[in-house]
Amino acid sequence: MTTAKDSEDLTRVGPGTVMGDFMRQYWIPAAKSDELEADGDPMRLMLLGEKLIAFRDTDGRVGVMDHRCPHRCASLFLGRNEEGGIRCVYHGWKFDAEGNCVDMPNLRPEQDFKHKVQAKAYRVAERNALVWVYMGARAEAPPLPAMESALVPEGDVGINFVLRDCNWMQALEGDIDTSHFGFLHVGHVGPEDVPEDHPFNQTVNDRAPRFDVADTPWGTSYGAWRQCAPGRNYWRISNFIFPFWTQTPQGAFDSHVHARAWVPLDDTHTMFIYVYWKAGSSGGNRKRPPLLNGKLGAPRAEHEYQPNTTDWLRRWRITGNESNDWQIDRELQRSGALFTGIANIHQQDQAVTESMGPVTDHSFEHLAPSDLMITRTRRRCLLAARAFRETGAAPPGVDDPETFFAVRSGYFEEEESVSFAEAYARHLESVTRAVNPSAADAAD
């Protein structure tokens, strides 16, 4: 059982918290590069409970800093992004992308002390269409993470953002609980509806898989397996990758290049960021065989977004939310046409995780053997975060970005005599790479 102390340490992410300080040691994906234009409007940005602004200066550099001007705390969101910096509209003080004060026009020259004033700014990097922020205190920031999908060149990478109204951990845990797929997403599909060559075939024929779970250098991994033929097992592999990444098994293991970040904006809001190789199975270019008997199957996550606004928490919101019951159609649900009555696979996940409340009350849970990956991942996070807090132990993978490169998820078949670890290693040898492995060594 997750204790009250464990729950607090897992879910709280603000400055000074166990998990928040731990996450600040990693680079955090924060925005799409094309959300920021040179000399364009500054953008409100919430990360780990901190209210920030992001802007791109005249020369294309991105600045991310506390939204409060160090002078009198007026919000720099109101500022003028001009000529290489952001200028506060209150008294005209100006700051460059690194937070250096470069102008104090309301003071006489002999009173000027701009060299002594620094806005609270974070280090920023851009790579392959994403803006990354390092919020830690190291004098030299660690290397950027070298997950394969995060190294895919800009023209070949797909990126989706979706805001979710719940804590990061409960949002993330939906990805490492694949036994829900046979109910939440395809509960209305029966064995008679699925061709033998369809990826849903094993899931709808056996909705209670067996599980193998392991701690790994990158976090945790598990394989859900079912017997698919005499002497053979069908495996679905999923991963948790520090500090808040997942990989799910909805594509073929050999070509499924992707990663899914669950970035905590604060304790009760999470930005889902899906980064994938367009040419791989996760890019949607490989059409599944159609289901039989007119069954719909699990709808693709084609999001219908609300208009973005400038509020702290109004970027990348989809139209289905608690106020409209996530657009549930009770007639579809009653008729058996769609198990949930919610016709979008991401929105199905969003509905159940947001319905748990802003932060799950873990004392109310009754975890089962099918939740082994969840309990193992919570424990792995707590041990790593507390080790950093208590001894300064380096968070896993922070200094070794290649740790994250050779990590794959997806489905495959294997002889039943082959163990989880051996099956994973065997299939990893023959995967199709989106980028050359040397790219992991070159990432910075």
pLDDT means per 10 residues, the chain with 444 residues, are 91 98 98 98 98 98 98 98 98 98 97 96 96 96 94 93 98 93 90 85 87 96 93 96 96 94 98 94 59 73 87 96 96 92 92 97 93 96 98 96 92 95 94 82 62
What does residue 178 show for φ and ψ, rounded to 5 degrees? -80, -5
pLDDT at 442: 65
Question: Interior CA angle at 185 toward 179 and 188, to 5°?
Answer: 105
Structure tokens at 148: 């394969």
Query: CB under 8 Å to 257, separation ≥6 — which residues?
Result: 148, 149, 152, 276, 277, 280, 282, 408, 433, 434
Give the residue extent of every domain in the chain. 28-141, 150-442
CA distances from 58 to 33, 64, 257, 276, 333 (A): 15, 15, 35, 30, 53
CA distances from 336 to 282, 295, 296, 340, 420 (A): 28, 10, 11, 9, 36
Identify the burial level of 411 via C-beta atoms within 10 angstroms of its C-beta, where 0-12 means exposed, 13-18 middle and 19 or more buried.
buried
pLDDT at 197: 80
Give me the sign of the Cα torsion angle 389, 392, 396, 400. positive
* Contact assessment for residue 133 and residue 28, using Cβ atoms and an 8 Å cutoff: yes
pLDDT at 443: 63
Edge to edge, the sheet with strand 121-127 lists 27-32, 130-134, 121-127, 62-66, 50-56, 43-47
Give me the sign of the Cα torsion angle 431, 436, 441, 444. negative
Question: Interior CA angle at 107 toward 101 and 108, to 5°?
Answer: 120
d(CA 82, CA 40): 8
28-141: CATH topology: Rieske Iron-sulfur Protein (2.102.10)
pLDDT at 285: 45
How many DSSP H helices and E strands does the chain contain? 9, 18
